């Protein structure tokens, strides 16, 4: 059952149905006011669960891992020798947040300050805390990016890792302690970030 009343804009008759939703009768096929058609866009990784991640990814974390919604404007960083983009416009999924994401996360500024207090280069400090095996990456360049859209990522601490890939016997018993706070953000594309440095 519907009730008509001449209360709409420009004198158009509005129709109210039993649910209480109002539709201008002068606009055939119009949706109820307040439910105008909008594209429904899913946020990347919205349905992804951490237990579905590859085993190598899960092993790269220790302790609790949280799924976090990262918003446009959030800045991320990483130390790397490599380019951040790969085939088909994809971007490396491994990052850290410039701003702290937890009470224990120092953020970029805190990492730089800790390295300075210890009298070591930032990349040396990051190598030990992010547990980056020597042969993987020189970590010489600091890259900062800004997210251009929302995306879900997984936030937690790095697990320990052997310091060497096994090619140097002198390093066989050396282990990087890990513990740095990191983000794993799969399905990150070049169009989703702006490179700042």
Structure tokens at 38: 């909008």
147 and 103 share a domain?
yes
Give the angle 196-91-71 at the CA atoms, nearest 5°: 65
DSSP-assigned letter for residue 81: S
22 and 59 share a domain?
no
Give the number of other CB atoms < 10 A from CB of residue 77.
Answer: 19
**pLDDT tens by residue, 103-137:** 999 999 999 999 999 999 999 999 889 888 777 77
Question: Does residue 179 sit in helix, strand or coil?
Answer: coil
Whole-number Cα distances in Å, 30 to 8, 23, 38, 61, 189: 13, 7, 13, 50, 36
What is the extent of the structural domain holding 3? 1-38
- 44 falls within a domain: no
Q: How big, in percent rounded to 5, are the helix, strand and coil portions of the chain?
A: 20, 30, 50
152 and 75 share a domain?
yes
Closest CA to 143 of 189, 75, 191, 88: 75
- 45 falls within a domain: no
Spatial distance between the Cα atoms of 183 and 194, rounded to a whole number of angstroms? 17
**pLDDT tens by residue, 60-94:** 999 999 999 999 999 999 998 877 876 667 799 99
**pLDDT tens by residue, 10-57:** 444 333 344 444 334 444 444 445 545 555 679 999 999 999 999 999
- 103 falls within a domain: yes
21 and 54 share a domain?
no
32 and 54 share a domain?
no
Domain count, the chain: 2
């Amino acid at each position: 059952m519907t009730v008509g009343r001449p209360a709409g804009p420009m004198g158009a008759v509005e129709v109210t149905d039993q649910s209480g939703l109002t539709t201008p009768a002068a606009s055939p096929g119009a949706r109820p006011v307040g439910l105008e058609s909008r594209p429904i866009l899913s946020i990347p990784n919205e349905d992804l669960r951490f237990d579905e991640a590859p085993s190598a990814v899960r092993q790269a974390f220790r302790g609790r891992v949280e799924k976090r919604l990262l918003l446009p404007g959030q800045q991320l960083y990483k130390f790397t020798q490599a380019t951040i983009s790969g085939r088909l416009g994809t971007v490396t999924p491994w990052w850290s947040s410039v701003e702290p994401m937890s009470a224990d996360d120092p953020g970029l500024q805190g990492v730089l300050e800790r390295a300075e207090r210890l009298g070591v280069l930032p990349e040396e400090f990051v190598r030990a805390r992010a547990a980056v095996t020597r042969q993987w990456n020189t970590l010489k360049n600091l890259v900062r990016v800004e997210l251009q859209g929302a995306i879900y990522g997984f936030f937690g601490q790095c697990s320990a890792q052997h310091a060497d890939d096994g090619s140097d016997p002198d390093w066989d018993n050396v282990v990087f302690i890990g513990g740095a706070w990191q983000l794993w953000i799969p399905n990150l594309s070049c169009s989703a970030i702006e490179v700042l440095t």
